[in-house]
Amino acid sequence: MTDKRIFERFVGSLRNPTGAGNPITNRNFVSISACVFLLFGLANSLDGISNSFAQTVAVSGGSKTEPAFDEKEAFAHLENVCAFGRRFSTSRGMTQQQDYLRQHFASLGVEVFMQPFVARNPRDGRQAELANMIVRFHPHRSKRLLICCHYDTRPYPDLDRHNPHGVFIGANDGGSGVAVLCELGRQLAPVIEATESDEAAMAPREMRTVEVRTVGGASNWNSKTDDGKYGVDFAFFDGEEFVYVARRDPMFLGSTYFSKEYVRTGRTPEPKVSFNQRAQRGPVRAADSRYVFAILIDMVGDKNLQIFYEGNSLIYAPRLTKSIWDVAARMKAKAFVPKQKHKLRDDHLPLNQIARIPTCDIIDFDFPSPRRKHAYWHTEADIVKNCSAESLGTVGSVLLQWLTEMQQLAKNQPSP
């Protein structure tokens, strides 16, 4: 079988969602019995892909392809967004955070836009204006990868035994994903200097190249505009935790809206207004862009980081999930434990069940530790000092390496 066929089968195997699922109303920990997954057919192909990943990185020139994720930069972003205080949907802190993120990503030269939607405010029943934020790298590429998190926080620390109506900062549950994507974006983002010659401008668009200056010095895979490689989108979901009464108020509002719009339009989100005019000078957007697969990150700042396989990720995107943990194993990132522990309801369920995008949830649900379990979760103890720069660095480095290897795979596929 040719390398191209193996690659096509691998990508096809990742697009393997099953079942429509029940309506999503809350995220909660669900105890489950052990499940046995039959791995056959494309399992050998996936092993071959993993081996080719390692070989590609080994021979491609040393540090240029090694992750350069800066954990200190990520932690600084965590401190900055948490300095805005509570960032629940519709709050002043959320508005300040949105302004901060717009400025950060616009400064990197990439496209930033909002995906507004309306939802019922569970506190008073009135209509509330919420908005997902989308950050787009290489908008002209039709095959795309989605990396996402939620950026809202719980209105109150409702599980705090001493002060359930106190102030909830959500450094880990809300802030950690934002911090990782801010630094990951710095590593991926090109500042496109369009210097095409007249001759190049006359060539078919798929054959054109542009001169690219990278920010952060780690984005060597950004150098061409051909559609043979993936574009990347970040999505920051609003309304994941717009909950005043648990089990009454619906969750995952932003990811559900995102997923329904993806199905309705048949393509990735389009901006009505972009906050970065510089990004408009790059190549035009692909007219038929679709997501090949997605990764959700949530609660990844725990000092005692242990990220197990998440149960629903193994159901809807087993090979995608395994490929991420394979990268982590080669990087000796021991925080990624290749065993299943929790089965969770999270933003990945709308993506899997509604949008049918194979999506993996990277989450450490034992905050601060398996022994104490949920001692900090949805309490006033979810603050910056209980988070770790090293943990942010671990997750960010694995994501950066996984993205780099996927780009190399697509780039190196031979013509038929």
Per-residue model confidence as pLDDT tens digits over 395-406:
999 999 999 999
pLDDT at 229: 82
The band of 219, judged by pLDDT with boundaries at 50, 70 and 90, is very low
Domain boundaries in the chain? 3-195+205-412
Residue for token pair 């021991």 = 334
Q: How far apart are CA 101 and CA 77, in angstroms?
A: 10
Tens digits of residue pLDDT in 162-193: 999 999 999 999 999 999 999 999 999 753 32
Q: How far apart are CA 208 and CA 366, in angstroms?
A: 48
pLDDT at 413: 65
* CATH 1.10.1060.10 correct for 3-195+205-412: no
Tens digits of residue pLDDT in 20-48: 434 343 444 333 333 333 233 333 334 43
Predicted model pTM: 0.78
Tens digits of residue pLDDT in 248-280: 989 999 999 999 999 999 999 998 766 665 554
Tens digits of residue pLDDT in 205-214: 333 332 223 2
